[in-house]
Structure 1
Amino acid sequence: MAVRQIRVIGDEVLNKKCKPVKEMTPRTAELIEDMFETMYEANGVGLAAPQVGVLKKIVVIDVEDGNQYVLINPKIVEQQGAQTGYEGCLSVPGKTGIVTRPDYVKVRALNENMEEYELEGQDLLARAICHECAHLDGQLYVELVEGELLDTEAEEEEEEM
Structure 2
Amino acid sequence: MAVRPIRLFGDPVLRSASAPIDDIDDGIRALVRDLVDTVELPGRAGVAAPQIGVGLRAFSYNIDGDIGYVINPVLVDVSGEPELVGEGCLSVPGLWHEALRHPHATVTGVDLDGNEVVLEGDGLLAQALQHETDHLDGKLYLDRLPAETRRIAMREIRESDWF
Is the structural similarity TM-score above 0.5? Answer: yes
Q: Deviation per CA, 1:12-50, whole angstroms, max 9, x where unpaired?
A: 110011100112111111111111212223631100000
Which whole-Å CA distance do the structure 2 matches of 1:27 and 1:43 have between them?
A: 27
TM-score, with normalisation over the residues of structure 2?
Answer: 0.86
The answer for the alignment partner of 2:78 in structure 1 is 79
Identity of aligned residues (%): 35
Quick check: 1:83–1:123 contact (8 Å CA) kept in 2? no
Do the aligned partners of 2:46 and 2:59 also contact (CA within 8 Å) in 1?
Answer: yes
Q: Distance in 2 between matches of 1:118 and 1:36?
A: 18
For 1:62 and 1:29, locate their aligned partners in 2 and report how far apart those are by CA, in whole Å. Answer: 18
Contact 2:36/2:69 (<8 A) preserved: no
Deviation at 1:76, TM superposition (A): 1.3
How far is 1:125 from its partner?
A: 0.2
Q: Give unpaired runs (5+ residues) of structure 1.
A: 152-161
Letter in 2 for 1:19: A
Counterparts of 1:96-111 in structure 2, within 5 Å, are: 96-111=96-111
Count, aligned residues: 150
| Residues 23 and 114 in structure 1, CA contact (< 8 A), matched pair in contact too | no
Match of 2:114? Answer: 114
Q: After superposition, give the CA deviation of every residue in 1:48-69 in whole Å (9 maximum; x if it has no partner).
A: 00000000000101111x5322
TM-score w.r.t. length of structure 1: 0.87
Contact 2:40–2:67 (8 Å) recurs in 1: no
Deviations, residues 103-146 of structure 1 (Å, cap 9, x unaligned): 11111111222211222111000000000000001000011113
The secondary structure found in structure 1 opposite 2:66 is coil
Report what 2:55 is aligned to. Answer: 55
Cα distance in structure 2, aligned partners of 1:99 and 1:52:
23
SS in 1 for 2:27: helix
SS at match of 1:29: helix
Q: CA RMSD in A?
A: 1.6
1: CA distance, partners of 2:72 / 2:87: 23
SS at match of 1:126: helix
Following superposition of structure 1 onto structure 2, how do residues 117-136 of structure 1 map, counting pairs within 5 Å? Answer: 117-136=117-136
After the TM superposition, which of the residue ranges 106-115 and 141-150 deviates more from structure 2?
A: 141-150
Give the 5 Å matches for 1:1-161: 1-41=1-41, 43-64=43-64, 66-81=65-80, 82-146=82-146, 147=149, 148-149=152-153
Give 4+ residue runs of structure 1 displaced > 3 Å after superposition. none
Q: 2:131, 2:99 → 1: CA distance?
A: 10
